[in-house]
Amino acid sequence: MKIRLAASSGFCFGVRRAIQMALEARENGDEVCTLGELIHNPPIVQELRDKGIEVCPSAESIQNKVVVIRSHGIGKQELETLQQGGNRIIDATCPYVKRAQEIVSSMADYPVLILGDANHPEVMGMLSYGNEQTRVVQEDTDLSEERWQKLCVVSQTTQRLDSLQNLVRKLLPQTLELRVFNTICLATTQRQDAALALAKAADLMIVIGGRNSANTRMLQQLCSAQTRSVQIETEAELSAELFDNVKFVGITAGASTPAEMILKVYNKIKEINRDADTATCSEEIPLFKEESC
């Protein structure tokens, strides 16, 4: 059974940066917490708890602490509440997300449409920086009856580029002045493209990442449209039956998935396949190259 890992899998810059900032704050001996989960990966969040970095559910409950703002960012009102609570704030918001927030804030004279998941913390944060005409839409939201003199469009950083393009294509005939900001993370696009290419060649895709992770769910959707695909959080979810009649397994991982978890999953698949040639580090896992198929 051949096993290949998609390029650009696992931790992105923003996630790696957020974890490092939280750990450095804790090393100083301060009482550290995060407002909401720092990243959408339950095992990593538990590891941070074990190191004394707690998760607080609301800004109102945090007083006189060191608070790390999660990689997804927080809302404008939440930030003000934290400041009023006498907290020392460490902003670990991903720079891509921060840029999107700043763009929404700067478009005060425009109606703003945010392409994304209205229930995701990143989008909720972006929405808080907008005006009364700022709202969240999906690619398939019916906007056919609406007209604008001017309009601004931005996107959740983990959306597909073609989804943004499709939305803009629909809006252009209905708008005299349309300003579009591509706020999609480059690393996200590269990860999605690599996973999609691998899924087209594989008999089975294993997508590793938290079930509450938007970018991991997007990977699962893309892969499942091409081949049989299973999303898991840890290697414990793998079973021998999953690989019956499978000759080519592809692996990809969301932006909140550490290299250690990718390695564990790879070696578990090897173990199930009774292959003793396991890897000792993630760099030893063979990457997928389209020309090899």
Model pLDDT for residues 65-122, shown as the tens digit of each residue:
999 999 999 999 999 999 999 999 999 999 999 999 999 999 999 999 999 999 999 9
Backbone angles phi, psi at 246, to 5 degrees: -100, 125
Q: Are residues 108 and 203 in the same domain?
A: no
Q: What is the pLDDT of residue 290?
A: 62
Residue 122 among the catalytic residues: yes
Q: Is 232 helix (H, G, I), strand (E, B) or coil?
A: strand
Residues 203 and 238 in one domain: yes
CA distance to 12, 24, 109, 190, 194, per residue, from 96 (Å): 11, 22, 23, 15, 20
pLDDT confidence of residue 292 = 46
Ranges assigned E (strand) in the chain: 2-5, 32-35, 53-56, 66-69, 88-91, 112-115, 134-137, 148-155, 175-180, 204-208, 228-232, 248-253
Number of domains present in the structure of the chain: 3
Spatial CA neighbour of 204 closest among 259, 170, 251: 251
The identity of residue 98, as a single letter, is: K
Same domain, 216 and 274: yes
Among 63, 93, 123, residue at a domain's last position: 93
Q: Which of 77, 93, 109 is the last residue of a domain?
A: 93
Residues 264, 221 within the same domain: yes
Kindly state whether residues 198 and 153 are assigned to the same domain. Answer: no
CATH number of the domain to which 56 belongs: 3.40.50.11270
Nearest to 262 by CA among 186, 193, 206, 200: 206
Which one-letter amino acid corresponds to residue 40?
Answer: H
Q: Is the pLDDT of residue 200 over 50?
A: yes
Verify that 180 and 128 share a domain, yes or no. Answer: yes
Same domain, 212 and 285: yes
What does pTM read for this prediction?
0.87
Residues 124 and 172 in one domain: yes
Using the structure block, give the residue that is written with the tokens 């950083």: 157
| Average pLDDT for 144-171 | 96
Least confident of 34-43, 125-134, 227-236, 237-246: 34-43
- Give the active site residue among 122, 132, 241, 291: 122
Q: At what angle do helices 42-50 and 13-27 cross, to 10 degrees?
A: 10
Q: At which of 164, 184, 204 does a domain end?
A: 184
Domain of residue 248, residue span: 2-11+187-292
Domain holding 257: CATH number?
Answer: 3.40.1010.20
Same-domain check for residues 102 and 85: no
Same domain, 165 and 136: yes
Say yes or no: 272 and 227 in one domain: yes
Give the integer Cα–Cα distance in Å for 109 and 183: 19
Is residue 30 located within the same domain as residue 73?
A: yes
Beta-sheet strand order (sheet of 148-155): 134-137, 112-115, 148-155, 175-180
